[in-house]
Amino acid sequence: MARVRPLSGYPEWTPAQRVVESAVIDALKEVFTLHGFAEIETRAVETVERLAGKSEAAKEIYTLTRLNADGDADARLGLHFDLTVPFARYVEEFQNELAFPFKRFQIQKVWRGERPQEGRYREFYQADIDVVGRQSLPAHLDVEVAVVMARALAALPLPGVTMRVNNRRLVEGFYRGVGIDDIAGALRSVDKLDKIGPDGVRAELVEQQVPETAADAILELARISAPDASFVNAVEDLWATTTTVADVADAEAQLREGLAQLVALVQGVNAAVPGTAIADLRIARGLDYYTGSVYETFLDGHEDLGSICSGGRYDSLVAGGGFPGVGMSIGVSRLVSRMLGAGLVEATRAVPTAVLVAVTDEETRAASTAIADALRGRGIATEVAPTAAKFGKQIQHADRRGIPFVWFPGSEGASDEVKDIRSGDQVPADAATWEPPAEDLSPRIVPAD
Amino acid sequence: MARVRPLSGYPEWTPAQRVVESAVIDALKEVFTLHGFAEIETRAVETVERLAGKSEAAKEIYTLTRLNADGDADARLGLHFDLTVPFARYVEEFQNELAFPFKRFQIQKVWRGERPQEGRYREFYQADIDVVGRQSLPAHLDVEVAVVMARALAALPLPGVTMRVNNRRLVEGFYRGVGIDDIAGALRSVDKLDKIGPDGVRAELVEQQVPETAADAILELARISAPDASFVNAVEDLWATTTTVADVADAEAQLREGLAQLVALVQGVNAAVPGTAIADLRIARGLDYYTGSVYETFLDGHEDLGSICSGGRYDSLVAGGGFPGVGMSIGVSRLVSRMLGAGLVEATRAVPTAVLVAVTDEETRAASTAIADALRGRGIATEVAPTAAKFGKQIQHADRRGIPFVWFPGSEGASDEVKDIRSGDQVPADAATWEPPAEDLSPRIVPAD
């Protein structure tokens, strides 16, 4: 038979790699849960109408067809490409059963029908948290969401991360103050700074009828960054020299509101997880619906990955208005793939099993099973040898599976013994009391060799 | 805005219901893990060619199309409809990286493009375990897999379950002994006993050219059941009076091998989880690929649900041969849906949060956050009140979310206090040492009121 080939864009892990992915997901869940976020799961499908609402993403939707469709009037369905669209629909659908502010986390796979040659993932895990109010939502939740994500990332076996934060009100106030009308258009250009550089952005802005002085002011604003409140002076200085609008009161009020929120955010995150946040006024986030704080997060030394955890504050989760919120999303599969691919981490073993109970002969298999059950009853993952081969073979079997301990049932009144097959140490042991060292109880995630 | 309607066939849970589903999945994982089963996940998609290999299921496949497909030569893909087809492909693809016998569990959603009017699920969780050898696999693993599933189901807050087990070798030997050639055809008819009754099955068998005496013998065999080895005598008696074939040696050897395996299975399961297994010789399982033990499991008092956990022994997981195995699969979503719908269980609360820390005024929010962090640091899920409303309102907020404790920061040297809002009891407390009662630490699954 021809060897089975992997499908491009659909990552799959070996059991040992899945231990890493699973540990990452569990660590995220634990942090989210400790902060009071409830888990939901949404179905994988939405109507195409709802998914395609955002025209840009529409390119990437996988639609579903029943192989033997018989002309029934099915709604046209597609796989969700993120967890925000389904969350918005869920909140709308279940609003009468939810208590607001509603804090939820959601860790699920999403699908994107990307062109295969781009080498992007077509199926991957995202981990999202959002807090959504019904009519309003206090600004301090912008800090809380960022702190929770900073702690979640700190709980993973990663190099440090840097969370680059900005504020749309600040930016919008500033842009209005320098006389820009199409703020969304200007933001989309600034979002391309990394790709096309300041000259490219400037050219795009000028093409959008942005005055050259305003374009320069915008690019100057985007150069400001600081790990503390010191960016405020820089913004104020720039503001003082670049505002061109006659009546700047409204724009300035908006700018100052944004400045205060950004100060609270960068200080709040760094107080909780020191050294994580930087106010970086170039962070734009392309999406139109953000209205306040915006976040991007980079893995130190792996900035080429792009942002591993992004999000922001929005005024309205649903099309009809209402439900303001703030949320962030981790690209789990991309992160895990880098952790594995760059050799940052590995699992100590591919199986949950701590102990293999040897079988002396098939007649006494039940005795070996009883030992295994005694160990399992105390939370120690245990297997019984599949065959009563020579003990050397059974030890080899444990070694091949990565099981650290082999247990030998005592015969004729002799005590049971347990061997650490890594060191070769073998000692008498009682299944009612023996414990493996804590670090051997379950597979652990460790730096790769 | 028009209310959003649920999509038929796509169940979704409220946060409190998701607590139940999540607890079920975690309980299954724990049992599987304790028995040494490693978790894998496979991608949601397979090639349509692979999925459609089983013609019957082909009707139910959802195929994928990129909404804005641009004519690239994508393989034609569909969503998996079970976890066996992807597992077989995974074993084939990763065979050089797996240690055999390979024990895996897999808990994922599957999709079936059922006709909506049938009221069946189109997206649902399955939980599968399998043990697969490379060239051979000892028969005692048939017992182990059934014991693991019996324990997994016993770990759930369910009424009892009854595992009805049979053996294809036994049945095949018997069928050959009474002169039946098309054994698969006869099995498919016997599998319909519940639907069409003994007379219907008999009529189908006769239509298949099965002699009437043989049809009667088959139906007589299907009447035999016992929770212990006592079925052996009944089978032997029937065998003695109904064999019609001249040379029965081969058929009888096959029958006896099956009898011995079935005795070991029913005794083994009942020794591990008393009162669970019944040898029931009518259990046929429609699928052709089973070759030894077959299992179906029914929820006591909810037999109308059909089998909630089924499976069997097969000679070859992959088309090319090799990789014999044995596995079982739980229909998790259907089970959870019944648990919730029949009011068998409910979650004690919809949020993970045990404590809401009140906020006296926005100026002292940081003090409340510090208390929350102290509690979180000791594993107690905690939220901080979203606004510094009057304490009565903050207690109401906790009540609406189902949070059992509200924490009041002390002011001016006074001690903090914590109130159990269910009893109204309020006592002094220190965030560095206070613990909620163990049953309030996390949401629990309890019998519904």
With CB atoms and an 8 Å threshold, state whether B62 touches A61.
no
Kindly state whether residue B46 falls inside one of the protein's structural domains. Answer: yes
The mean predicted confidence, pLDDT, of chain B is 93
A residues 272-291 lying closer than 8 A (beta carbon) to B: 272
pLDDT tens digits, one per residue of A254-288: 999 999 999 999 999 999 999 999 999 999 876 67
CB-CB contact of B250 with B176 (8 Å): yes
B1 has a pLDDT exceeding 50: no
Q: Tokens for A376?
A: 């399992």
A118 has a pLDDT exceeding 80: no
Strands (E), A112-246: 123-132, 161-167, 225-226
Q: Which domain holds residue A130?
A: 15-347
Task: Count residue pairs from A and B with Cβ separation < 8 A.
Answer: 239
DSSP bridge partners of A296: A164
With CB atoms and an 8 Å threshold, state whether A67 touches B70.
no
DSSP bridge partners of A125: A109
pLDDT tens digits, one per residue of A274-324: 999 999 999 987 667 899 999 999 999 999 999 999 999 999 988 878 899
Which residues in chain A touch residue B144, judged by CB atoms under 8 angstroms apart?
384
Strands (E), A14-148: 38-39, 45-47, 62-66, 77-79, 102-111, 123-132
Kindly state whether residue B200 falls inside one of the protein's structural domains. Answer: yes
Clarify whether residues A292 and A212 are in a common domain: yes
CA distance B341 to B187: 34
Clarify whether residues B22 and B62 are in a common domain: yes
Q: Tokens for B212?
A: 């009437």
- The DSSP letter of residue B41 is -
Q: CA nearest A148 in B: which residue? A: B373
CB-CB contact of B129 with B148 (8 Å): yes
Name the domain boundary from A298, A318, A347: A347
CA distance A280 to B167: 68
Q: Tokens for A50?
A: 């709802």
Sign of CA dihedral B293, B299, B300, B302: negative
Kindly state whether residue B442 falls inside one of the protein's structural domains. Answer: yes
**Cβ–Cβ contact A74 with B under 8 A:** yes
- The DSSP letter of residue B298 is E
Banded model confidence at residue A47, pLDDT cuts 50, 70, 90 = very high
A71 has a pLDDT exceeding 60: no
With CB atoms and an 8 Å threshold, state whether B65 touches A66.
no
Banded model confidence at residue A1, pLDDT cuts 50, 70, 90 = very low
Mean pLDDT score, A439-445: 96
Q: Which residues contact B11 (CB under 8 A, 6 or more apart)?
A: A43, B121, B123, B124, B333, B337
**Cβ–Cβ contact A77 with B under 8 A:** yes
- Total number of domains constituting chain B: 2
**Cβ–Cβ contact B109 with A under 8 A:** yes
Using CB atoms, pick whichever of B34, B65, B352 lies closest to residue A36.
Answer: B352
If DSSP codes are grouped into helix, strand and coil, which group holds residue B107?
strand
pLDDT tens digits, one per residue of B278-314: 999 999 876 678 999 999 999 999 999 999 999 999 9
User: Helices (H) and strands (E) in chain A — how many of each?
Assistant: 14, 19
pLDDT at B411: 85
Name the domain boundary from A320, A347, A374: A347
Which residues in chain A touch residue B41, judged by CB atoms under 8 angstroms apart?
12-13, 18, 21
B56 has a pLDDT exceeding 70: no
pLDDT at A244: 79
Among the residue ranges B67-71, B144-148, B234-238, B262-266, the one predicted with the least confidence is: B67-71
With CB atoms and an 8 Å threshold, state whether A352 touches B61.
no
pLDDT tens digits, one per residue of B332-386: 999 999 999 999 999 999 999 999 999 999 999 999 999 999 999 999 999 999 9
pLDDT at B339: 95
Kindly state whether residue A7 falls inside one of the protein's structural domains. Answer: no
CA distance B318 to B323: 7
The identity of residue A97, as a single letter, is: E
Q: CA nearest A70 in B: which residue? A: B115
With CB atoms and an 8 Å threshold, state whether A70 touches B115.
yes
CA distance A294 to A164: 8
If DSSP codes are grouped into helix, strand and coil, which group holds residue A436?
coil
Kindly state whether residue B8 falls inside one of the protein's structural domains. Answer: no
Sign of CA dihedral B433, B438, B443, B448: negative
- The DSSP letter of residue B84 is H
Mean pLDDT score, A48-68: 78
Which ranges of A41-134 would DSSP assign to H, the alpha helix?
A: 48-51, 55-58, 84-94
A residues 384-443 lying closer than 8 A (beta carbon) to B: 384, 386-387, 397, 400-403
CA distance A49 to A78: 9
Clarify whether residues B213 and B290 are in a common domain: yes
DSSP bridge partners of B60: none
B93 has a pLDDT exceeding 80: yes
Clarify whether residues A362 and A388 are in a common domain: yes
Nearest to A166 by CA among A185, A148, A190: A190
Alpha-carbon distance A203 to nearest alpha carbon in chain B (angstroms):
31
Name the domain boundary from B300, B316, B346: B346
How far, in whole angstroms, is CA A441 from its chain's centroid?
27
pLDDT at A194: 87
Among residues of chain A, what percentage have pLDDT more than 70?
95
Sign of CA dihedral A4, B290, A401, A340: positive
Which ranges of B243-326 would DSSP assign to H, the alpha helix?
A: 249-272
Q: In which order are the strands placed within the sheet that holds B382-384?
A: B382-384, B355-357, B405-408, B417-420, B426-428
Mean pLDDT score, A388-406: 97
pLDDT at B55: 58
- The DSSP letter of residue A168 is H
CA distance A56 to A60: 8
Clarify whether residues A247 and A319 are in a common domain: yes
Clarify whether residues A298 and A213 are in a common domain: yes
CA distance A387 to B437: 47
Alpha-carbon distance A232 to nearest alpha carbon in chain B (angstroms):
22
**Cβ–Cβ contact B12 with A under 8 A:** yes
Nearest to A92 by CA among A317, A372, A295, A272: A317
**Cβ–Cβ contact A110 with B under 8 A:** no
DSSP bridge partners of A36: none
Kindly state whether residue B10 falls inside one of the protein's structural domains. Answer: no
A430 has a pLDDT exceeding 90: yes
DSSP bridge partners of A191: none
Mean pLDDT score, B73-80: 80
Clarify whether residues A122 and A208 are in a common domain: yes
Kindly state whether residue A243 falls inside one of the protein's structural domains. Answer: yes
With CB atoms and an 8 Å threshold, state whether A123 touches B97.
no
Mean pLDDT score, B257-280: 97
ipTM: 0.94
Element of type H or E holding A177: helix A168-177
CA distance B285 to B289: 10
CA distance B281 to B296: 12
**Cβ–Cβ contact B363 with A under 8 A:** no
Sign of CA dihedral B437, B442, B445, B449: positive
B232 has a pLDDT exceeding 50: yes
Clarify whether residues A341 and A370 are in a common domain: no
Q: Tokens for A137?
A: 């939502």
Q: Tell me the CATH number at B416.
A: 3.40.50.800
Using CB atoms, pick whichever of A12, A92, A384 lies closest to residue B42.
Answer: A12
B residues 302-341 lying closer than 8 A (beta carbon) to A: 318-320
3-state secondary structure B311-354: EEEECCCCCCCCCCEEEEEEEHHHHHHHHHHCCCCEECCCCCCC
Q: Quick count: other Cβ atoms within 10 Å of Cβ B191? A: 16
Q: Tell me the CATH number at B56.
A: 3.30.930.10
Kindly state whether residue B6 falls inside one of the protein's structural domains. Answer: no
Q: Which residues contact A199 (CB under 8 A, 6 or more apart)?
A: none
Per-residue b or e along B90-101, where b marks 16 or more CB atoms closer than 10 Å to that residue's CB:
bbbbbbeebbbb
**Cβ–Cβ contact B72 with A under 8 A:** yes
CB-CB contact of B364 with B152 (8 Å): no
Clarify whether residues B126 and B155 are in a common domain: yes
Nearest to A226 by CA among A218, A236, A234: A234
Residues in chain B: 449
Banded model confidence at residue B71, pLDDT cuts 50, 70, 90 = low
A414 has a pLDDT exceeding 70: yes
Which residues in chain B touch residue A144, judged by CB atoms under 8 angstroms apart?
384
Please give the model's pTM, rounded to 2 decimal places: 0.95
Among the residue ranges A135-139, A207-211, B91-95, the one predicted with the least confidence is: A207-211
Clarify whether residues B170 and B304 are in a common domain: yes
Clarify whether residues B364 and B341 are in a common domain: no
pLDDT at B116: 65
Q: Quick count: other Cβ atoms within 10 Å of Cβ A361? A: 9
Clarify whether residues A137 and A205 are in a common domain: yes
CA distance B219 to A223: 84
Mean pLDDT score, A4-31: 95
Alpha-carbon distance B61 to nearest alpha carbon in chain A (angstroms):
5
Q: Quick count: other Cβ atoms within 10 Å of Cβ B388? A: 18
A357 has a pLDDT exceeding 50: yes
CA distance B372 to B359: 11
CA distance A271 to A228: 10
Mean pLDDT score, B232-261: 92
